[in-house]
Homo-oligomer: A and B are copies of this chain.
């Protein structure tokens, strides 16, 4: 993903600026730009929590500076049904679509968020290259600005996700075989066997087990087998001979 700045245009409430800084940092963003913001004091810092660095490094720029410094500028606008019909705010993209639009851009990208009470002006929106609208309920489509910043950052974040190792197909097959011998061991009726094994395959297939979980299930089956042998020493003997 390209470098992305979050630009708050004339924010009115310092708490929102602090919350925006926090949620930016949550998703790995640090370039915060403020255009003619309200005074920022203790409340902004309190809302930023451990993102005070983002807040303190925020740059104050004019609109003109924003438009000359960034190569691709995205206007984040509220979802007004009326806006859909007007080319000022149309066509618009969801945050996920914006991600696709900008992921191959090599350049500086800015996302503009408007004032809490009246968003971005038509004139500001007209100058932007792309329009981003968060799909929201027609009953109450106006998000708090820091929530809008959060959702856009969430979509545009390029974070590695922790991985867990899914069991290989071969490990799963060995588990199904073990289940089959286990069913044998407990005298599960032959005529039901095929359906029961299929159901086991369906259940365990859709749960997508990790390697560790597969080995835990093997362990439980083995432990049950041992107990059955201990309680039937004759049988155990038979197995060992």
For A94, list chain B residues within 8 Å (CB): 161
Are B154 and A19 neighbours in the complex by a CB distance under 8 Å? Answer: no
Given A27-B137, A91-B210, A210-B91, A164–B22 Cβ distance below 8 Å? no
Contact A81 B143 (CB under 8 A): no
Q: Mark A154-178, 1 if CB is under 8 A from B, else 0.
A: 1001010110100000000000000
A159 and B144 contact, CB distance less than 8 A: no
A143 touches B87 (CB 8 A): no
Q: Does A140 contact B (CB under 8 A)?
A: yes
Q: Which residues of B have CB within 8 Å of A159?
A: 135-137
Known: A147-B26, A151-B151. A51 touches B140 (CB 8 A): yes
Is the pair B161, A26 in contact by a Cβ cutoff of 8 Å? no
- Interface: A139 (CB within 8 A): yes
Question: CA of A147 to CA of B25 in the docked complex: distance in angstroms?
Answer: 13
A141 and B212 form a contact (CB under 8 A): no
User: Closest CB-CB distance, A4 to chain B, in whole Å?
Assistant: 14
A154 to B151, Cβ gap below 8 A? yes
Q: When the two chains form their complex, are residues A162 and B84 in contact, meaning their CB atoms are under 8 A apart?
A: yes
CA distance A49 to B117 in the complex (A): 12
Q: What's the Cα separation between A81 and B50 when bound, in Å?
A: 18
Q: Identify which of B23, B162, B210 contacts A147 (C-beta below 8 A).
A: B23
B contact residues around A139 at 8 Å (CB): 25, 28
B147 close to A134 (CB less than 8 A):
no
Residues 117-132 (chain A) with a chain B CB within 8 angstroms: none
Docked Cα-Cα span, A210 to B150, in Å, equals 30
Q: Which residues of B contact A157 (CB under 8 A)?
A: 135-137
Chain B residue numbers with a CB within 8 Å of A91 are 164, 208, 210
- Cβ-based interface call for A63 (8 A): no
New A-B pairs, 12, CB < 8 Å, besides A26-B142, A27-B136? A19-B144, A19-B147, A23-B143, A25-B137, A26-B136, A27-B137, A28-B137, A79-B162, A87-B213, A135-B157, A137-B159, A147-B150
5 contacts between A and B (CB under 8 A): A26-B141, A26-B142, A50-B140, A87-B212, A137-B157
